[in-house]
Amino acid sequence: MNAEAPILLTDIVNHHDSVSLADRYERIRSLSLSLVEPLSYEDCQIQSMPDASPIKWHLAHTTWFFEVFILKKYCKDYLSYAPRYDLLFNSHYHGVGPQYDRNLRGVLSRPTVNEILRYREYVDEQMVALLNASPYEVIEQLVLLGLSHEQRHQEAMLMDIKHAFFQNPLYPVYAMSSSASDARQVDMSWTTFEGGLLDIGSIEANALDDEKPRHPYYLRPYRLASRLSTNGEYLRFIQEGGYQLSEYWLSDGWQWLQESGTFAPLYWVKEGDQWFEFTLGGLQPLKLSQPVCHVSYYEAAAFAAWQGKRLPSEQEWEAAVKYRKGPANYFNPSSLQPRTCTSTEFAQVLGDVWEWTTSAYAAYPGFKPFGGDMSEYSAKFMSGKQVMRGGSCLTPPGFVRPTSRSARYPHQRWQMGGIRLAQDAVD
């Protein structure tokens, strides 16, 4: 693609609260463009499975979000860029109109990437003008939600292109990263938490609706693993027959296993006797000390059962993380893989990999969905999914809080889902 002057990602990610909303808008929006720099037009077109979307669709949809929910409502005399885009780039908002079949997004060769980039420019100009020209209190929450939404899609773009490239026997490289050495992993220890009647959920103004309201929740004493489970530990599970031992698997998981023919995490490739992992930097030897990722909930739960342990509930996870300080490993263009843990403390909680929990995604007691158009933002997805916590190394900084909840179907693996073990502190 026609390269523009590259934006320094460090500029984007180290944002300060002192920046204006318009600046924040531009910085976050520009990261989306940076993410497509390494890609060809053709790369931006493809959709490798229904769960994924073409990169160009992400670019257009996130733009449509600002257009339809903000510009059309709050920008006087706003002229729609292309009314026919509404059908194409509405993801699932029945309230504002119909949607094109999501399974077929990859077939829409028009508008082209360049046309979508012009669409972004048009909307961005209008948005910045709106944010600069007027007191924006009335739309501040919506803009912040739109930016959070953009960040969610930034992670999805990386997930989706990784999945698409993996289908290609040429194993294309998205970005060469300074290949981390396969450091020696530290031993896992257990951190004990007292439990009791604790507050779960957020009171922040900018929190999503599904993080609210803050409410009391009773927890028994419990222990969490000090670090994430590693590729090496998971490989032992494979080698000792874990995928053939039904007693460790959920019934649904066992059926999924038989139907899908799964025998290892997504992106693991065995050539001869050696294991490799497909990454955004191409196919690489499996690094045993790195956190295992791209496992389904079924695999995570079976691995935990095989270890004689379990996964944490989302409340156990949140209570453990909420008031801790510590380094986070979020999106950083120089390294797009989770890092080997080098600490013996309770670690690796923010970033690296999303951590599966035993909690089904459901409304908190007293839950009130966003109103208006945004009523479809979270509430209608509250069935059939498990909560994941903590963000990953593909998550843009600033997107995830300790109270943030991500929800995935138990069989999904193209997100960076990993494992932290848990156990009861008393029997």
Neighbouring residues of 35: CB distance < 8 A, sequence distance ≥ 6:
154, 157, 158
End-to-end CA distance of the chain: 60
The answer to the question of residue 421 lying near its own copies (CB under 8 A) is no
| Rounded Cα gap, residues 109 and 137, in angstroms | 38
Of the candidates 277, 314, 313, 309, the residue with the CA atom closest to the CA atom of residue 293: 277
The answer to the question of residue 121 lying near its own copies (CB under 8 A) is no
Rounded least distance, CB 109 to its own copies, Å: 4
- Which of 74, 236, 376, 412 is in the footprint of its own copies by CB under 8 A? 376
Residues 321-340, one symbol each (x = binds its own copies by CB under 8 A, - = not), give --------------------
- Which of 7, 183, 188, 360 is in the footprint of its own copies by CB under 8 A? 360
Residue 64 three-state SS: helix
The answer to the question of residue 410 lying near its own copies (CB under 8 A) is yes
Task: Tell me the window of 175-183, 263-271, 274-282, 379-387 that interacts with its own copies (CB under 8 A).
Answer: 379-387
Closer Cβ to its own copies, 13 or 360, answer by number: 360
- Which of 95, 241, 285, 326 is in the footprint of its own copies by CB under 8 A? 95
The answer to the question of residue 170 lying near its own copies (CB under 8 A) is yes
Rounded least distance, CB 269 to its own copies, Å: 15
Residue 235 three-state SS: helix
Closer Cβ to its own copies, 40 or 343, answer by number: 40
Which residues, 257 to 276, sit near its own copies by CB under 8 A? none
DSSP H helices, 37-170, are 41-45, 55-66, 72-74, 85-89, 113-133, 137-166
Task: Tell me the window of 121-129, 186-194, 333-341, 358-366 that interacts with its own copies (CB under 8 A).
Answer: 358-366
Residues 37-56, one symbol each (x = binds its own copies by CB under 8 A, - = not), give ---xxxxxxxxx-------x
H-helix or E-strand spanning residue 21 = helix 21-36
Residues 208-237, one symbol each (x = binds its own copies by CB under 8 A, - = not), give -------xxxxxx-----------------
The answer to the question of residue 109 lying near its own copies (CB under 8 A) is yes
Task: Judge whether 297 and 411 are in contact, CB under 8 Å.
Answer: yes
Of the candidates 73, 43, 38, 59, the residue with the CA atom closest to the CA atom of residue 124: 59
Rounded least distance, CB 24 to its own copies, Å: 30
| Rounded Cα gap, residues 66 and 63, in angstroms | 5
The answer to the question of residue 345 lying near its own copies (CB under 8 A) is no
Number of residues located near its own copies, criterion CB under 8 A: 70
Which residues, 128 to 167, sit near its own copies by CB under 8 A? 164-165, 167
Of the candidates 325, 311, 319, 301, the residue with the CA atom closest to the CA atom of residue 420: 311
φ/ψ (deg, to 5) at 132: -85, -30
- By the 10 Å C-beta count (0-12 exposed, 13-18 middle, 19+ buried), 411 is classed as middle
Closer Cβ to its own copies, 6 or 384, answer by number: 384
The answer to the question of residue 381 lying near its own copies (CB under 8 A) is yes
Which residue(s) pair with 45 in the sheet? none
| Rounded Cα gap, residues 221 and 373, in angstroms | 41
Rounded least distance, CB 228 to its own copies, Å: 22
Task: Judge whether 96 and 377 are in contact, CB under 8 Å.
Answer: no
Residues that bind its own copies (CB under 8 A): 40-48, 56, 84, 87-88, 92, 94-95, 100, 104, 106-113, 164-165, 167-170, 172, 197, 215-220, 246-247, 249-254, 297-298, 301, 310, 313, 358-360, 362-363, 365-366, 375-376, 380-384, 386, 410, 424
